[in-house]
Amino acid sequence: MDLELDGKTALVLGASKGLGRAIADSLAAEGAEVITVARTPGDDAGQSHIIADLDDPGAPDAIIAAVRAGGRSPDILVLNSGGPPTGAAATTTPDDFAAVMGRMFNAQLALAQAFLPEMRTRGFGRILAVASTSLVTPIPGLVLSNAVRAMLASWCKTLAAEVAADGVTVNLLLPGQIATDRLTSLHGMMAAGSGMAAEQVTARAIAAIPAGRLGRPEEFGDIAAFLASPRAGFITGSAIKVDGGQTATL
């Protein structure tokens, strides 16, 4: 299937590694011009790269200026950020939430609103937000991720209805247990708190997945590429689970 992404420009946040990198690679493989954003220099051959830290309040303006300086305006915007620290709901403070709101919500909102008018004028746009299956079932010990991602999800679903008639779709991707450095780190932290070995934590996680394995980053990236394509024009306001069947609720 030709995803018809030749000539489309994509801006992918958090694209130096993990899920963001997988999305950028899949979009590029389908012919899109990809602009990646990350805190460190990229080694993604053939892709433009902007160095920016979404924890910096000035990052959105810097990213917008860099994109505009290249004479480009993204047809596809992938909202993605690094995961926040672990923590319990009973002890997480307002200051803890404030510390992650910049990169997990404010920066992404600012970028979407900056490029949205041009998407609507062109009659084509794709906004994808990388969230988590915690939107369906909150994950113990990850209250910051659970709550802030839910906030972004509500904004995305509200926006989807506002811009659908203009040819712009807004969807959420909900990764489950995908084999990334972030998952390895989380399993390590869980192991440290339980007295188990990290390998045991990973084995227990896999046992809970009906597919019987962890997801592959490239599988996640390919689903994102489809949703970003003209072929997926009738899918909007949706939250697509990519979790091997682990989350039971539809």
Question: Do 88 and 139 sit in the same domain of this protein?
Answer: yes
Instruction: Name which residue leads in pLDDT, 199 or 109.
Output: 109
pLDDT at 143 over 70: yes
What is the structure's pLDDT at 57? 95
Question: Per-residue pLDDT averaged across 205-219, rounded?
Answer: 94
Question: Do 71 and 193 sit in the same domain of this protein?
Answer: no
Please answer whether residues 153 and 129 qualify as being in contact, where contact means their C-beta atoms are separated by less than 8 angstroms: yes
pLDDT-derived band of residue 86, with 50, 70 and 90 as boundaries?
Answer: confident
Residue 2 lies in a domain: no
pLDDT per residue as tens digits for the range 15-30: 989 999 999 999 999 9
What is the structure's pLDDT at 196? 83
Instruction: Name which residue leads in pLDDT, 61 or 85.
Output: 61
Domains of the chain: total = 2
What is the structure's pLDDT at 198? 84
Most confident of 75-84, 180-189, 197-206: 75-84
Question: Do 193 and 100 sit in the same domain of this protein?
Answer: no
Burial of 43 (0-12, 13-18, 19+ CB in 10 A): exposed
Residue 49, number of CB atoms within 10 A of its CB: 19
Q: Which of 74-78, 149-153, 184-188 has the lowest mean pLDDT?
A: 184-188
CATH of the domain at 42: 3.40.50.720
Question: Do 36 and 124 sit in the same domain of this protein?
Answer: yes
Residue 128 lies in a domain: yes
Question: Do 70 and 157 sit in the same domain of this protein?
Answer: yes
Question: Do 123 and 230 sit in the same domain of this protein?
Answer: yes
Question: Do 34 and 19 sit in the same domain of this protein?
Answer: yes
Strand order in the sheet with 33-38: 48-51, 33-38, 9-13, 76-79, 125-130, 168-175, 239-242
Burial of 7 (0-12, 13-18, 19+ CB in 10 A): exposed
Give dist(CA 161, CA 131) in Å, integer.
19
Question: Do 201 and 109 sit in the same domain of this protein?
Answer: no
Residue 3 lies in a domain: no
% of the chain surpassing 90 pLDDT: 78
Residue 249 lies in a domain: no
Residue 222 lies in a domain: yes
Distance of CA 136 to the CA centre of its chain: 16
Helix (H, G, I), strand (E, B) or coil at 69: helix
Question: Do 165 and 187 sit in the same domain of this protein?
Answer: no
Residue 1 lies in a domain: no
pLDDT at 42 over 70: no
Question: Do 23 and 65 sit in the same domain of this protein?
Answer: yes
What is the structure's pLDDT at 49? 95
Q: What is the mean pLDDT of the chain?
A: 93
What is the structure's pLDDT at 249? 74
Range of the domain at 183: 179-214
